[in-house]
Amino acid sequence: MSGGWLVLKAIDCMVHIGVTEGERCERQRLEIDLDLEADLAKACRTGDLRDTIDYRAVCDAVRAHLEAGQFYLVEVAAAQTLDLLFERFPVRRATVRIRKFVLPKVAHVEVVMERARPEARS
């Protein structure tokens, strides 16, 4: 296998998220970064989208999942995003960064989680 990374930056989502019901009643903007490690060798040889990870499909799946849900914590949204990536796409390892823009005088709060596919762990 040959490795490579697919990196998606600043996927915008509008999500019901927050600890209080008042915070969850209005959608809040989250920004998601994904670093996806995968075998890209076949795609490099064939030039065929079916041999790689369709980044549009990744963005659509992540956005649909987050926008359909309700989350108390950014940590839960990040963990569920990792679950989704491993269920739907052939990634070996993934890093998810989720930024929430909630505190005054703070650019953002960010949660970072990384996970390897169980069979890829050494």
Number of domains in the chain: 1
Each residue's pLDDT tens digit, 50-65: 888 999 999 999 999 9
CATH number (domain holding residue 70)? 3.30.1130.10
Asked whether residue 122 carries a pLDDT value surpassing 50, the answer given is no
Q: Where are the alpha helices (DSSP H) in 1-122?
A: 21-25, 41-46, 55-68, 74-88
Percent of the chain clearing pLDDT 70 (strictly above)? 97
pLDDT per residue as tens digits for the range 87-101: 999 999 999 999 999
Find out whether 53 and 35 touch, Cβ atoms under 8 Å: no
Beta bridge partners of 116: 93
The Cβ of residue 120 has, within 10 Å, a number of other Cβ atoms equal to 12
Question: Binning pLDDT at 50, 70 and 90, where does residue 1 land?
Answer: low
Q: How far is it between the farthest Cα atoms of the chain?
A: 52
Task: Say whether pLDDT at 48 is over 50.
Answer: yes
- Residue 18 sits in which domain range? 3-120
